[in-house]
Amino acid sequence: MFGKFLKKSKNRNPDKPLTRNIVDGRAYATLSDYQSTGGYEGLRTAITTMDSLGVQQVVKDSELRGRGGAGFPTGLKWSFVPMGEKAPETKYFVVNADEMEPGTFKDRVLMEKDPHQLIEGMVIGSYAIRATAAYIFLRGEYHLSAERLSQAIAEAYQQGFLGKNILGSDFSLDLYLHSSAGRYICGEETALLNALEGKRAIPRAKPPFPQISGLWGKPTIVNNVETVCNLPHIFFYGVEWYAGLGRGKDQGTKLFGASGRVKNPNVWELPMGTPIREILEEHAGGMQDGYQLKGFLPGGASTDFMLPEHLDVLMDFDAIAEHGSRMGTGTMIILDDKTCPVKMVLNLEQFFSRESCGWCTPCRDGLPWVVTILEDLIAGKGQASDLELLEHQTKMMGPGNTFCALAPGAMEPLQSALKYFRGDFEKYLERPVVKEAE
């Protein structure tokens, strides 16, 4: 019977597992919608046929990499959690649903349209590390996600997918929704742990890593929403099927998106390793009439610019890195030829400056300084040495010089803009007083 079910569901968009329940004209997938395509069967397979280490092994074999921006292998991350009898009794599994990186709009879709998918993934992840409680750390502005998730959590308890002895096993789990109250820094995983403990969201020193000492000092895994949404399918359809999805080196599918002046800004589930050109030209429909592509940030505000000459690069973690940027969140921000790259970078740096948590000096003082230099430059009050000063800042706030990755992320669009759009910066030096033309 199970086999028949499997076969039937396999026919249904097996190439787009994450969005298979997102159907035009349907607000969201209810529990029965979700179960009609095999929902909670992946969990059943994991929990009734494997032990926790076995589940970890499947995820390692799947080569799933984190979708929160850094692409860290999920199975490897889990393997650092102490297991067995000597391990602490209390452990936590936390989902990062803070989604505040400018230009990123993928996790919201997954939570609003198919909330049970995330919950099933969380139970699988929690079982893999033997977590005793799980939290969804949700940004405060996502009211609709909160509503749908709360309902889904209640249903999952009713059906025995959460609570005591899940599906008749010896595994029990409580799952809570934490609705936050702003600040981009909460998405940084150690700041998130402080926020979840009800403190100011200041990042923590690493080591110790959260896997050893996280929430309230207990072993804790933090994974992105989209990462976790992959789990049910890996267990339902199997690792082999999963490996067949990617077109490049990475496995599975990914939500890719594009915003800015493209004809059809949106988010699409596509194979890992889809060429950027295909995403922009076929899915986003190319540029709006009267606009040309000048560059793009491939995966949110804290990724380096890429150029039209990079259109044939594959959306793969390593392929993008080879071209000096990062896949980040996979949602692209498109720079058109009528938008000034210097002003765009100013907008980005204003964001980072405002959102700096203020804990370490290079970031707290450096980001406002960068903003001032850019503002002066744009106002026609710049000098030639400013560009060197900006370059100097990108080093000062580069990796290793600040307490967390916010400031290095802030430097990525700046350093690449200085490299690729130098002429646009220099133009402001040629004209001593530039009036706001627009």
Partner 1 sequence: MRDQDMRVDSQLSEAEIAEVLEEASHYPEKSGASIEGLKVVQKYRGWVSNESLKQVADLLDMSVEELDGVATFYNLIYRQPVGRKVILCCDSVSCWMLGSDNIKQKISDRLGIEYGGTTSDGEYTLLPIVCLGACDHAPVLMVGDELHHNVDEAQLDQILNTRAS
Q: What residue ranges bind partner 1 (CB under 8 A)?
A: 90, 99-105, 107-108, 135, 139-144, 176, 178-184, 195-201, 216, 257-261, 265-267, 301, 331, 333, 336, 339, 344, 347-348, 350-351, 354-355
* CA distances in angstroms from 220 to 29, 278, 384, 386, 414, listed in the order given: 29, 38, 49, 44, 34
Q: Which stretch binds ligand FMN (CB under 6 A): 30-38, 63-71, 126-134, 334-342?
A: 63-71
Q: Shortest Cβ distance from residue 328 to ligand SF4 (Å)?
A: 17
What distance in Å separates the CA atoms of residue 280 and residue 332, rounded to the nearest whole number? 9
DSSP character at residue 260: S
Question: By C-beta, is 206 or 422 nearer to ligand FMN?
Answer: 206
Query: Cβ closer to ligand SF4: 172 or 361?
Result: 361
Interaction site with ligand SF4 (CB under 6 A): 185, 203, 356-360, 363-364, 402-404, 406-407
Query: In angstroms, how far is CA 172 from the centroid of its own chain?
Result: 28
* Both structure tokens of 117: 């998918």
Element (H or E) spanning 346, and its range? helix 341-355
Strand partners, 92: 133, 220
Q: Which residue number, 37 or 356, has a Cβ lying nearer to ligand SF4?
A: 356
* Span from 60-68, 78-86, 109-117, 236-244 in contact with ligand FMN (CB under 6 A): 60-68
Shortest separation between residue 227's beta carbon and ligand FMN, angstroms? 3
Q: Pick from partner 1, ligand FMN, ligand SF4, none: which does 19 bind, CB < 5 to 8 A by kind?
A: none
Residue with nearest beta carbon to ligand SF4? 363
- Helix %, strand %, coil % for the chain, to 5? 45, 15, 40
**Chosen from partner 1, ligand FMN, ligand SF4, none, partner binding at 363 (C-beta under 5 to 8 Å by type):** ligand SF4
Cβ proximity to ligand SF4, 29 vs 404, nearer residue: 404
98 binds ligand FMN (CB under 6 A): yes
37 vs 117, beta carbon nearer ligand FMN: 117
Q: Is 96 in the site for ligand FMN (CB under 6 A)?
A: yes
CB of 118 to ligand FMN, least distance (A): 12
One-letter identity of residue 269:
E
Instruction: Give, in order, the Cα–Cα distances in Å from 21 to each of 111, 225, 293.
Output: 12, 16, 33
Q: Which two tokens stand for residue 19?
A: 């969005």
Span of 2-10, 218-226, 314-322, 384-392 interacting with ligand FMN by CB under 6 A: 218-226
Q: How far is 66 from 77, CA to CA, in rounded Å?
A: 9
Q: Please give the DSSP secondary-structure letter assigned to residue 265.
A: -
Taking the C-alpha atoms of residue 92 and residue 78, their distance in angstroms, rounded to an integer, is: 11
Cα 224 to chain centroid, rounded: 6
Tokens of 410: 């802030």
Please check whether residue 120 is in contact with residue 40, taking contact to mean a CB–CB distance below 8 angstroms: yes
Cα angle 167, 168, 174; round to 5: 60
Q: What residue ranges bind ligand FMN (CB under 6 A)?
A: 66-70, 72, 77, 96, 98-101, 184-185, 187-189, 222-224, 227, 404-406, 409
